Amino acid sequence: MGVSCPARPAYDHPMTTPDVIGASDPLARALDHLAAGAWQQAHEIVQPDKSTLAAWLHGIAHILEGDLKNARGWYRQAERPFPGPEAVQEEIVAARRALEARNR
């Protein structure tokens, strides 16, 4: 008689990951992309949006891209001080808080 093996090993269970594409708010999706470093996808979402929050996210996208001159322009459009590239992660967190407050 052989050793019985479980029908499905524990490592074979489906992984759960955040559903970036499933977010209903486009700016929330853009923030998810920014947090993941996918500035190109975020840029596509925020570019047509004319809101101040979208301008802020647009600036963050350009920081991640490395285009600081363009980022400064979008920060001016968003009426926010330019924090510099070293603060990009803090900016993403702050932008997420602002988006959550807007959606309450």
Q: Could you read off the pLDDT of 25-62 as tens digits, one per residue?
A: 999 999 999 999 999 999 999 999 999 999 999 999 99
Whether residue 32 is contained in a domain is answered as yes
- DSSP element (H, E) containing 79: none
Torsion of CA 78, 102, 48, 43, to 10 degrees: 80
pTM of the model: 0.78
Residue 37, domain member (yes or no):
yes
Phi-psi region of 61 (alpha: psi -120 to 50; beta: other; left: phi over 0): alpha
CA dist 42 and 60 (Å) reads: 9
Looking at 2-11, 17-26, 58-67, 88-97, which range is the least confident one?
A: 2-11
Give the C-alpha separation, 35 to 95, whole Å. Answer: 11
4 pLDDT band (50/70/90 cuts)?
very low
* Residue span of the structural domain in which 30 resides: 25-102
Averaged pLDDT, 66-76: 98
Measured CA to CA, the distance from residue 70 to residue 103 in angstroms comes to 28
Q: What is the pLDDT of residue 22?
A: 43
The reply to whether 63 falls in a domain is: yes
Task: Determine the pLDDT at residue 103.
Answer: 86
- pLDDT for 104: 85
Answer whether residue 77 shows pLDDT above 80: yes
Residue 24, pLDDT score: 84
Domain annotation covers residue 48? yes
**Does residue 59 fall inside a structural domain?**
yes
Number of domains in the chain: 1
